[in-house]
Amino acid sequence: MIEVLYEDNHLLVVNKPINIPMQEDNSKDEDFLSMCKDYLKVKYQKPGNVYLGLVHRLDRPVSGVCVFAKTSKAASRLSKQVQEHTFKKTYLAVVTDNNIKDVDHYEDYLLKDQKTNTVKIDKRGKLAILDYELLKRNDNLALVKIALKTGRSHQIRVQFSSRNHALWGDQRYNKQAKVGQQIALHAYSLELLHPITNEKMVFTSNVDRKPFNCF
């Protein structure tokens, strides 16, 4: 069942569950783009293929708010906002405390290994920027709110883990993560300009799962 946060003739804003790929991959598991297309097909009784543009991506284990474009014009204009950084994404994450600062600004160059699908800090990579603020502490964990300035693959996970603040449950970049844990990373807020009316729009998605609900 798709949780729709907002819908009009141009946009479909939905809350992505954990552990679902955004689009079809080698796993052949059901993907979120196809699920949303099926939702539109049934709701509007559309025959044949349904157009739905993928504007941005969330990693498979990450939950939260994401937007799809229902027309090619909307897709083009939203993609331009992503490129011009007027498309603003805010995340919540639970990280290893280790005396994390109350606020900080991270800038790194990230390089992706396509064969292993892992990312590392490397001067040959692409610039990755984020800001964060500490919200709460609990035992040896910290809840942070992250303003993502660039959208690099695995960016939040790598930038925090490289500073000894690995994300809770991150099976790839946190050596202390236990099997079966889901990464504590949630796309909390999305701010954009409506592709037709140019109206500023903000969508939020609350999270209620471990370990977020421990704060």
pLDDT, tens digit (0-9, with 9 covering 90-100), for 17-40? 999 999 888 778 899 999 999 999
Q: Which CATH number fits the domain that encloses residue 42? A: 3.30.2350.10
Residue 176: band (very low, low, confident or very high) from pLDDT cuts 50, 70, 90: very high
Higher pLDDT, 25 or 7: 7
Output the pLDDT for position 26. 78
For 50, other C-beta atoms within 10 Å of its C-beta total: 17
Q: Which residues of 133-154 are buried (b: 16+ CB within 10 A; e: fewer)?
A: ebeeeeeebbbbebebbeebeb
Q: Which two tokens stand for residue 179?
A: 């099997």
Q: Which two tokens stand for residue 55?
A: 């504007």
Cα gap 129→150, rounded to integer Å: 6
Domain range enclosing 154: 3-214
> 58-71 pLDDT, tens per residue?
999 999 999 999 99
Q: What global pTM score does this model have?
A: 0.94
DSSP 166: P
Domain count, the chain: 1
Q: Are strands 53-54 and 88-96 parallel, antiparallel or unpaired?
A: unpaired
**Is the sign of the CA dihedral 180, 184, 189, 194 positive or negative?**
negative
Cα gap 198→102, rounded to integer Å: 35
Residues 6+ apart with CB under 8 A from 203: 5, 6, 13, 65, 67, 189, 190, 191
Residue 47 has pLDDT above 90, yes or no: no
pLDDT more than 70, % of the chain: 100
For 24, other C-beta atoms within 10 Å of its C-beta total: 13
Output the pLDDT for position 200. 97
Output the pLDDT for position 1. 83
Radius of gyration of the chain (CA): 18
Output the pLDDT for position 29. 84
